[in-house]
Amino acid sequence: MKKQQTTDTNLDALEEILGYRFHNRSLLEQGITHRSWAYEQVKPGEEGKARRLHNEAFEFIGDSVLGLVVAHYLYQAFPDMSEGALSRMKHSLVSASTIARAAERLCLGQYLRVGRGEEKTGGRGKKALLADVFEAVVAAVFLDGGFIAASRFVDRALDPELKIVDPESAAAGDHKTMLQERLQAERLATPQYNIVETVGPPHHRMFHVEVVWEGGSVRGQGRTVKAAEMEAARTALAHINASP
């Protein structure tokens, strides 16, 4: 199999889709490079070189920039909302499922550089990889053009979601609140969340959380403790609803 090449023509097309022209295209190239591709390009023992090629560090930056852009948007759009309501809307907008959907609209999977193994297993279409590359592209725009450029990009990329976000729908998607209310309705104790495992390097942590309630326990995982708790709560609700 030939190594994937990122041509100027490809980057021209991607910049057109993103609505942003890079001054330093190497930032865009790194933003769309998965670690599986990077490690295929270096010799054993040269992992440091691979880290300078792939986008994991960009994901770390992009996650923070994305959160700030969305928080600023919500603060302006809903000036009278409580902190809790704003937090629920923000969580909905920056969730992996939301940004993976945005990545699909931008066709980022088509431009993502992945290794042979990921290519064979459909890595371009994996929700987790799409969410990661979206964050990395946010970082690439931020590093190249600053916060205003990144903010404009996020506003365009998440425009469908930003137009329909509201406190009610965000509350309905807050699985932790829904689980607690469900247990309270059945006169059961508040569920308890415990971190059972943390894996990965500091800039790319994956948290595994267990939620325990009277009658069962399940686990969830996520890039943050809050995301892992939310996934655990979602799974717990599905488990409870499926029980006779």
The DSSP secondary structure of 23-81, one letter per residue, reads SSHHHHHHHTB-HHHHHHSS-TT-HHHHHTTSSHHHHHHHHHHHHHHHHHHHHHH-TT-
User: Does 1 have pLDDT greater than 70?
Assistant: no
Residue 5 — very low, low, confident or very high, per pLDDT cuts 50/70/90? Answer: low
User: Which positions ≥6 away from 133 have C-beta within 8 Å?
Assistant: 31, 32, 34, 55, 103, 108, 109, 112
Phi-psi group of 129: left, alpha or beta (phi > 0 → left; psi -120 to 50 → alpha; rest → beta): alpha
Higher pLDDT, 191 or 43: 191
Do 124 and 19 fall within a single domain?
yes
Do 159 and 181 fall within a single domain?
no
Tokens of 123: 């890595």
* Contact assessment for residue 10 and residue 107, using Cβ atoms and an 8 Å cutoff: no
Range of the domain at 237: 175-242
| pLDDT value of residue 160 | 95
Q: Which of 154-163, 171-180, 210-219 has the lowest mean pLDDT?
A: 171-180
Question: What are the residue numbers of the active site?
Answer: 63, 135
* Contact assessment for residue 13 and residue 41, using Cβ atoms and an 8 Å cutoff: no
Higher pLDDT, 235 or 46: 235
Do 207 and 150 fall within a single domain?
no
CA-CA distance, 104 to 94, in Å (whole number)?
Answer: 15
* Contact assessment for residue 34 and residue 133, using Cβ atoms and an 8 Å cutoff: yes
Give the pTM. 0.74
Do 125 and 233 fall within a single domain?
no
Do 200 and 119 fall within a single domain?
no
| pLDDT value of residue 3 | 43
Do 60 and 180 fall within a single domain?
no
Q: Which of 32-46, 136-150, 164-178, 222-236 has the lowest mean pLDDT?
A: 164-178
Q: pLDDT tens across 76-113, in order?
A: 999 999 888 898 899 889 988 899 999 999 999 999 99
For residue 3, tell me if it sits in a domain: no
Q: How many CA atoms lie within 13 A of 241 on its CB side?
A: 9
Do 27 and 146 fall within a single domain?
yes
% residues pLDDT > 90 (the chain) = 62
Mean pLDDT of the chain: 90
Domain-ending residue, one of 166, 183, 208: 166
